[in-house]
């Protein structure tokens, strides 16, 4: 993870999140992933706003030009073309906005899956730790077998 001048990583706009030096690599990876996803979504959102504003301005200019030149012969063409260009630019802005929304949804889904994986790994670590504390060898062997069955997804024959 590339540390910036503040030590917050290369995505300075990722908020006040700080990863402790002694923390695990997963947390650092997750923070970096969140920051990258947010930076991409922000870029797409700002681009969509810019295109939307420019498209709206061109569209309004074209409509105004069309109304202003409506009485002259053949001059309506300029207003129609300008309005069409404005409409196309506005649609492009909406596509960027949809992309930003899709990126945020994808990031949320992936983050939820990463959290589930992390919880499962922590539960496994804790189960193995507790298993090591069992003094009775027969009970430990049964618990190990149960843990193996659970982790492999196997079921007891019925």
Quickly count: other Cβ atoms within 10 Å of residue 48's Cβ.
20
Confidence of residue 75 (pLDDT cuts 50, 70, 90): low
pLDDT over threshold 50, residue 130? yes
Helices (H), 14-154: 25-68, 76-132, 137-152
Q: How many residues are there in the chain?
A: 158
How far is residue 68 CA from its own chain's centroid?
46
Name, in order, each residue with C-beta under 8 angstroms of 119's C-beta and a sequence gap of 6 or more: none
Res 76 pLDDT > 70: no
DSSP conformational letter for 24: -
End-to-end C-alpha distance for the chain, whole angstroms: 51
**pLDDT of residue 29 exceeding 50:** yes
Collect all residues with Cβ–Cβ distance below 8 Å to 38 and sequence separation of at least 6: 11, 13, 14, 107
In the chain, % of residues over pLDDT 70: 77
CA distance 58 to 62: 6
- pTM listed for this prediction: 0.51
Helix (H/G/I), strand (E/B), else coil: 16: coil
Beta carbons within 10 angstroms of residue 86's beta carbon: 20
**Contact status, residue 29 vs residue 11, Cβ threshold 8 Å:** no
Q: Alpha-carbon distance 107 to 82, whole Å?
A: 38
- Do 111 and 119 meet the contact criterion of CB atoms below 8 Å apart? no
């Amino acid at each position: 993870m590339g540390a910036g001048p503040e030590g917050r990583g290369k995505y300075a706009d990722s908020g006040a999140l700080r990863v402790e030096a002694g923390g695990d690599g997963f947390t650092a990876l997750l923070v970096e992933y969140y920051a990258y996803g947010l930076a991409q979504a922000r870029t797409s959102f700002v681009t969509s706003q810019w295109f939307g504003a420019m498209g709206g301005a061109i569209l309004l200019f074209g409509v105004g030009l069309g109304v202003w030149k409506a009485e002259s012969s053949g001059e309506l063409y300029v207003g129609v073309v300008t309005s069409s260009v404005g409409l196309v630019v506005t649609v492009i802005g909406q596509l960027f906005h949809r992309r930003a929304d899709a990126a945020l949804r994808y990031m949320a889904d992936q983050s939820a899956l990463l959290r589930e994986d992390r919880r499962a790994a922590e539960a496994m670590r804790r189960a193995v730790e507790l298993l090591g504390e069992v003094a009775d060898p027969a009970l430990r062997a049964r618990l190990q077998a149960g843990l193996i069955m659970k982790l492999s997804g196997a079921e007891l024959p019925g």
